Amino acid sequence: MKVMFERSVLAIMILALGSSAASLVRADNTGPAERAATAIVRQQNAYDLGYSYGTSDRQAGRSKNYKRYKNLYNGSTKSEFKRGYERGYAESGNTGSNYGSVPNWLIGTFRGYTPGNSTYTQITVSGNGIVSIAAENGSGAATGNYNNGLVTFPWGTYRFKREGTGFRAINTSNSSDRVLYRRY
């Protein structure tokens, strides 16, 4: 909505000022909102990449040093890469699980957009295998149980497949019902 408003205001300004103003418009037609959204995606990708490399380094027994990957980040993504790397390194300290069948990387709170409900949901996975889910719009909440890669909720069973710093929840009865959750 904001993007449409910004473009409408820009179009009105160009009409009012004439063709000389048209030369001020960026050729790629990206306004501040699009550039900000792109920057956020770059930051999240840098964090995810750092997390992945931090986890790999710890599991391989390498020393903690995010700078060995300086070719993977730039000045605008360095802090997020470093933050992700350090968290991945710290969280992978125990490659086995201290929590029954729940892997360490899955313990915590995650957020994802659920298209079927048109809302964001938060999932919290506890070390004891209890999984809670709540819609941010207040439309519902439930608990489920984790067991060997599967979570069973009252409405269905989902496979949690690790992706970056989060996971993808895939309905075992309908593989097109899938949601990507990122650590929150």
Whole-model pTM: value is 0.48
Residue predicted with more confidence, 63 or 35: 63
Give the Cα separation of 103 and 110 in Å (integer).
Answer: 15
Element (H, E) at 133: strand 130-135
Task: Tell me what pLDDT residue 63 has.
Answer: 85
Residue 97 has pLDDT above 50, yes or no: no
Tokens 């770059």 belong to residue: 42
Q: Total structural domains in the chain?
A: 2
Same domain, 81 and 146: no
Residue 180 has pLDDT above 70, yes or no: yes
Q: Is residue 99 part of a domain?
A: no
pLDDT (tens digit per residue) in 67-79: 999 998 999 999 9
Task: Tell me what pLDDT residue 100 has.
Answer: 47
Structural domain boundaries enclosing 119:
104-183
Instruction: Please choose, from the candidates 180, 146, 154, 143, the residue with its C-alpha nearest in 3D space to the C-alpha of residue 165.
Output: 180
Q: Is the separation of the CB atoms in 23 and 13 below 8 Å?
A: no
Please compute the mean of the pLDDT values over residues 58-73 and round it to a whole number.
86
Same domain, 86 and 114: no
Mean pLDDT, all residues of the chain: 77
Task: Tell me what pLDDT residue 7 has.
Answer: 38
Please compute the mean of the pLDDT values over residues 167-173 and round it to a whole number.
93
Q: Is residue 179 part of a domain?
A: yes
Instruction: Please choose, from the candidates 70, 18, 71, 77, the residue with its C-alpha nearest in 3D space to the C-alpha of residue 47.
Output: 77
Same domain, 8 and 81: yes
123 Cβ contact partners less than 8 Å away, ≥ 6 residues apart: 109, 110, 111, 112, 131, 132, 133, 169, 181
